[in-house]
Amino acid sequence: MSTDERRLATKVRKVREFLIERTIFVSGITSIVIVALIFIFLLKEGLSIFLTESVFDFLGGQFWYPISDPAVFGILPLIAGSVLVTVGAAILSVPIGIASALYIAEIAPPRTKEVLKAGIELLAAIPSVIIGFIGMVTLGPLIKDLFDIPTGLTALTGSLTLAFMAMPTIVSIAEDAITAVPRQYREAAIAMGATKWQTTWKIVAVAARPGMVAAVMLGMGRVIGETMAVMMVTGNAALIPHSFLQPVRTLTATIAAEMGETVQGGDHYAALFAIGIVLFIITFLINAVTDLYLHRSVRK
Amino acid sequence: MSMEQPIIETRSLNLFYGSFQALINVDLQIQDRQITALIGPSGCGKSTLVRVFNRMNDLIDGVRVTGRVLVQAENIYAPSIDMIALRRKVGMVFQRPNPFPLTVAENITFGLEVHRSLPRSEFRRMIEESLKGVLLWEDLKDRLDAPALGLSLEQQQRLCIARVLAMKPKIILMDEPCSALDPIATMKIEDLMRELKRDYTIVIVTHNMQQAARASDFTAFMYLGELIEFGETKSLFRTPRVKRTEDYITGRFG
Ligand SMILES: Nc1ncnc2c1ncn2[C@@H]1O[C@H](COP(=O)(O)OP(=O)(O)OP(=O)(O)O)[C@@H](O)[C@H]1O
Ligand SMILES: [Mg+2]
């Protein structure tokens, strides 16, 4: 290569590096800007509800009567519905998901492992309407008969359906985290006389904890944001539930179900956007807390 | 060479990785409370041999061992062997310091919990004793709850030795324990080995001829899976009996 050619090659490389860097930078900035714009839009459309309904009445109000006269916009029943369904889904999916991940990563023979991993990918790919539909026609009647209650569309049905949806996320991300634990930790534990089980439980699971927390949070993120399936299986009663066997309605389902009937710019319309703000803040807080936790344990 | 009852003894030991034979007819006797160095060029089977003594080779698929390996006169490849007890008796320190991603104290209590060898009320005392044993106590006594991965590499390697000491082993296997450390840290670990020799048998794999000459009492020279020469370090380095050993220790190959 002549000097000229070499100089040209260097130049081309520099330009390419520059372009790549810029592209990444611009994509990053764009996503931040888009999120900011969405939030501003939510605020613009939703804040006007607080002219007629105080923040306290909105968040703490026990009644959601958006179309009666006068309308009452209290979202406590919706918050309670979301929390109940989410907590239920977490209680069901987290232990089972983590245990499955440990089984796949540490115990399963290679063949079984491949099959299970493929199966889980497949589960993750099922659209939520379909899961909701199956939940509605199979799980609903089952729960109705099992507990002998008037309707099978309850918070429990929602939790089960959502647990099923969160599981693939939790399992596949937790499994990656467990597999990524360096072999040298396992070797050290085995060399000290630890059994396979002790090694998995006391060392591998602890080393993989940040990744498992991320897995759980992403799974829960899917649960909180899920709309279609919950709308189909929870019975949609905007009442404060007293048990898992009552119908509930979640924040997301409310927006989806009612947005079509509202008048743009009206109180009901604004109230639904305000629910959007609440959801946004909840998700943001969960992400922030997870991030804080992860950074703390990384530094640790 | 006057020999007492050896603490480790191999008789016609052969080891195969699948069809590849990594150890060929190794007959070796390791004396109690002495430091024995294994030297030889890369790939000659040093790591393979030390991993026989605590049966860490069992983790690899397709490994087959023939011959006898006695630790304190017990055949450790007998079907009735208690592997957990064996690994408590024969501790291991690895090439790269590998403390668990836990706190300093938890690294030491791990072995105690695994073997239930001490009541919980004694853990504190044992943490102190083991850390003192590796001369880390003064440095770390206020940082027992700090993460072990935050220590310097030398401290991490000492901690790895300390967690083995806490199990009260008889033998400590060290596979190139200083290769990730700088020369000063290496010297300090060698000093520590001489301290530990009073209570423990040490088998150390090393690439570093000076280290073997400085730190060990006996040296075994291996080549292509065979034990070529074994003897007291002084005489092996001064007057090797085999030409190949001489070539290696004088740096003519390897
Ligand atoms: N898991 C394995 N499967 C197949 N062959 C292996 C395996 N581990 C080691 N070997 C082979 O066995 C021989 C001895 O390896 P070993 O690691 O014991 O050598 P070593 O003397 O410790 O070398 P080094 O100084 O590089 O650490 C080498 O030829 C190596 O390629
Ligand atoms: Mg080696």
pLDDT, tens digit (0-9, with 9 covering 90-100), for B13-32: 999 999 999 999 999 999 99
How many residues does the structure list for chain A?
300
Residues A115 and A240 in one domain: yes
Query: What is the Cα–Cα distance from A35 to B164, expressed in whole angstroms?
Result: 52
Query: What is the Cα–Cα distance from A107 to A102, expressed in whole angstroms?
Result: 7
Name which of A182, A193, A206 is nearest B84 (Cβ-Cβ): A193
Measured CA distances, B244 to B46, B227, B241 (Å): 17, 11, 9
DSSP letter (8 states) at residue A263: P
Do B99 and B162 form a contact (C-beta atoms < 8 A)? Answer: no
| pLDDT (0 to 100) of residue B254 | 60
B95 and chain A in contact, CB less than 8 A? no
Residue range B42-91, pLDDT digits in tens: 999 999 999 999 999 999 999 999 999 999 999 999 999 999 999 999 99
In chain B, what residues touch A185 (CB-CB under 8 Å)? 98, 100-101
Residue B207 CA: nearest ligand 1 atom is 25
Residues A131 and A169 in one domain: yes
| pLDDT (0 to 100) of residue B1 | 47
CB burial of A111-123 (b: ≥16 within 10 Å; e: otherwise) equals eebeebbeebeeb
Residues A100 and A235 in one domain: yes
| pLDDT (0 to 100) of residue B5 | 86
Residue range B185-237, pLDDT digits in tens: 899 999 999 999 999 999 999 998 999 999 999 999 999 999 999 999 999 99
B155 has pLDDT over 60 = yes
Tens of pLDDT along chain A (300 residues)?
678 888 988 999 999 999 999 999 999 999 999 999 999 999 999 999 998 889 999 999 999 998 888 889 999 999 999 999 999 999 999 999 999 999 999 989 999 999 999 999 999 899 989 999 999 999 999 999 999 999 999 999 999 999 999 999 999 999 999 999 999 999 999 999 999 999 999 999 999 998 999 899 989 988 988 888 999 999 988 889 999 999 999 999 999 999 988 888 889 999 999 999 999 999 889 888 888 887 776 544
In chain A, what residues touch B54 (CB-CB under 8 Å)? 191
Mark yes or no for CB contact B164/A192 under 8 Å: yes
| pLDDT (0 to 100) of residue A298 | 52
Helix orientation angle between A155-179 and A110-124, rounded to the nearest 10 degrees: 130
Ligand 1 contacts CB of residue B59 (under 6 A) = no
A106 is in which domain, residue-wise?
55-299
Lowest mean pLDDT among A7-11, B127-131, B156-160: A7-11
Do B116 and A205 form a contact (C-beta atoms < 8 A)? Answer: no
* CA B188 to ligand 2 centroid distance, Å: 22
- The CATH number for A241's domain is 1.10.3720.10
| pLDDT (0 to 100) of residue A300 | 46
The interface predicted TM-score (ipTM) is: 0.92
For atom 24 of ligand 1, which residue has the closest CA? B42
Residues A60 and A26 in one domain: no
Do B100 and B79 form a contact (C-beta atoms < 8 A)? Answer: no
Q: What is the pTM of this model?
A: 0.81
Residue range B132-145, pLDDT digits in tens: 999 999 999 999 99
Residues A31 and A95 in one domain: no
Q: Is B171 exposed, middle or buried, given 0-12, 13-18 or 19+ CB atoms closer than 10 A?
A: buried
* CATH architecture under which domain B8-93+170-249 falls: 3-Layer(aba) Sandwich (3.40)
Residue spans per domain, chain B = 8-93+170-249
Name which of B56, B96, B147 is nearest A300 (Cβ-Cβ): B147
Name which of A185, A187, A194 is nearest B101 (Cβ-Cβ): A185
A191 and chain B in contact, CB less than 8 A? yes
| Count of structural domains, chain A | 2
